[in-house]
């Protein structure tokens, strides 16, 4: 995988200048000693006052510069806010009554689902509880506060929704009996029924042939840095959760471009460190801000698969550009 090497900066060399090249001789007439003493004292006082005033001015200016330096955001902070916008990212979907359908079918136990977040010290908000219970009517926003909740909720959707991607896709490479051997399947510990009874079992999200084609096109193109498989092979929880989101967006007639854009920022909140490194690369090596890079490019295998990201990470290390995000993403478990 090839990366763009940054252009080397051009050094500017200036010829030295002697600002004090001319010499002159001044003839001073003899003066009385008293006059010399008076002028000397006056000169000392003027020099002192000038020095005091200029010193205060310099200190004041330095103090202002220090205040600005302390309050002005760094380049890394600016890039991080592009990757994880402070106001989050509004997802172009509604969940309807999917939550209650999954509870009824045994995909997860409601109280146990809630308990996961209580034990993690992140109890669900009223809004999240209403999503879980199918009564939420507002806009669903992906941000630092909702990323963990949406990861597990979307994981449950992707795992249980009946779709050809699960029924006959790459996850079936070892047959139905081998389906449980993945982190996205065997790792789901909240079900109240055996996995084979909930896997791809619910007709929650019905897709037309055109919508199915859109969902599959997006799934094959969206990768995540923890695996080398695309969402079309959702072998981990992030992949299964992304599958659930893509199916939802396709069913609600979200355009393919908007599906990719949503996936770009969802990945960024689930993988803040890796996404910040992607932002650093595009900014420093390619001169483009994260927000301006096409979502398909960032989400593709070259930058978002595990092997592709590892190559990018190594390149940043060689250039001395490795950043550190202030937050970390979720694990591959509930």
Q: Is the pLDDT of residue 222 over 70?
A: yes
- Domain assignment present for residue 38? The answer is no
pLDDT at 96: 96
CA distances from 72 to 76, 81, 85, 277, 311 (A): 11, 14, 17, 21, 32
- Domain assignment present for residue 277? The answer is yes
pLDDT at 174: 87
Give the separation between CA 274 and CA 313, rounded to whole angstroms: 8
Report which of residues 12 and 332 the model is more confident about. Answer: 332
Q: What would the mean pLDDT of 109-126 be, rounded to a whole number?
A: 97
- Domain assignment present for residue 11? The answer is no
Report which of residues 40 and 232 the model is more confident about. Answer: 232
pLDDT at 41: 52
Q: Is the pLDDT of residue 69 over 70?
A: no
Report pLDDT digits (tens) over 74-105: 888 999 999 999 999 999 999 999 999 999 99
Q: Is the pLDDT of residue 213 over 50?
A: yes
Confidence of residue 109 (pLDDT cuts 50, 70, 90): very high
Report pLDDT digits (tens) over 151-181: 999 999 999 999 999 999 999 998 887 899 9
Domain interval for residue 99: 80-319
- Domain assignment present for residue 329? The answer is no
Confidence of residue 23 (pLDDT cuts 50, 70, 90): very low
- Domain assignment present for residue 40? The answer is no
- Which residue's structure tokens are 């799934």? 219
Q: What would the mean pLDDT of 247-259 be, rounded to a whole number?
A: 98
What is the number of domains present in the chain? 1
- Domain assignment present for residue 208? The answer is yes
Give percent above pLDDT 90 in the chain.
72
Give the separation between CA 196 and CA 270, rounded to whole angstroms: 28
- For 161, the token pair is 């929704």
Q: Is the pLDDT of residue 260 over 60?
A: yes
- Which residue's structure tokens are 């592709």? 308
Give the separation between CA 232 and CA 246, rounded to whole angstroms: 10
Task: Give which of 79, 88, 6 is closest to 279, Cα–Cα.
Answer: 79
pLDDT at 72: 63
pLDDT at 45: 45
3-class secondary-structure state, position 310: helix
Confidence of residue 49 (pLDDT cuts 50, 70, 90): very low
pLDDT at 15: 37
Report which of residues 20 and 283 the model is more confident about. Answer: 283
Contact present, 260 and 89 (Cβ < 8 Å): no
Confidence of residue 9 (pLDDT cuts 50, 70, 90): very low
- Domain assignment present for residue 15? The answer is no
Average pLDDT across the chain, whole number: 84
- Domain assignment present for residue 190? The answer is yes
């Amino acid at each position: 995988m090839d990366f763009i090497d940054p252009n080397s900066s051009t050094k500017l060399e200036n010829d030295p200048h002697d600002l004090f090249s001319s010499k002159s001789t001044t003839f001073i007439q003899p003066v009385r000693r008293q006059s010399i003493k008076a002028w000397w004292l006056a000169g000392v006082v003027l020099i002192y006052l000038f020095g005091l005033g200029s010193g205060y001015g310099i200190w004041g200016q330095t103090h202002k510069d220090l205040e600005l330096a302390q309050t002005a955001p760094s380049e890394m902070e600016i890039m991080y806010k592009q990757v994880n916008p402070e106001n989050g990212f509004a997802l172009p979907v509604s969940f309807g009554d999917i939550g209650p359908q999954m509870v009824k079918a045994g995909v997860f136990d409601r109280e146990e689902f809630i308990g996961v977040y209580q034990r993690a010290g992140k109890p669900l908000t009223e809004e999240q509880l209403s999503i879980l219970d199918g009564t939420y009517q507002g806009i669903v926003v992906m941000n630092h506060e909702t990323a963990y909740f949406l990861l597990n909720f979307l994981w449950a959707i992707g795992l249980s929704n009946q779709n050809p991607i699960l029924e006959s896709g790459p996850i079936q490479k070892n047959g139905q009996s081998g389906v449980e051997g993945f982190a996205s399947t065997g790792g789901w510990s909240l079900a109240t029924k055996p996995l084979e009874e909930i896997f791809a079992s619910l007709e929650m999200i019905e897709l037309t042939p055109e919508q199915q084609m859109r969902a599959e096109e997006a799934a094959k193109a969206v990768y995540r840095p923890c695996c080398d498989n695309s969402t079309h092979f959702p072998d981990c929880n992030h992949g299964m959760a992304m599958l659930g989101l893509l199916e939802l967006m396709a069913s609600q007639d979200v355009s393919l471009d908007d599906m990719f854009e949503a996936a770009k920022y969802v990945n960024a909140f689930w993988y803040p460190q890796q996404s910040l490194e992607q932002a650093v690369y595009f900014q420093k090596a390619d001169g483009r801000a994260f927000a301006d890079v096409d979502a398909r490019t960032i989400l593709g295998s070259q930058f978002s698969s595990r092997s592709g990201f590892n190559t990018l990470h190594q390149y940043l290390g060689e250039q001395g550009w490795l950043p550190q995000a202030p937050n970390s993403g979720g694990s591959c478990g509930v």
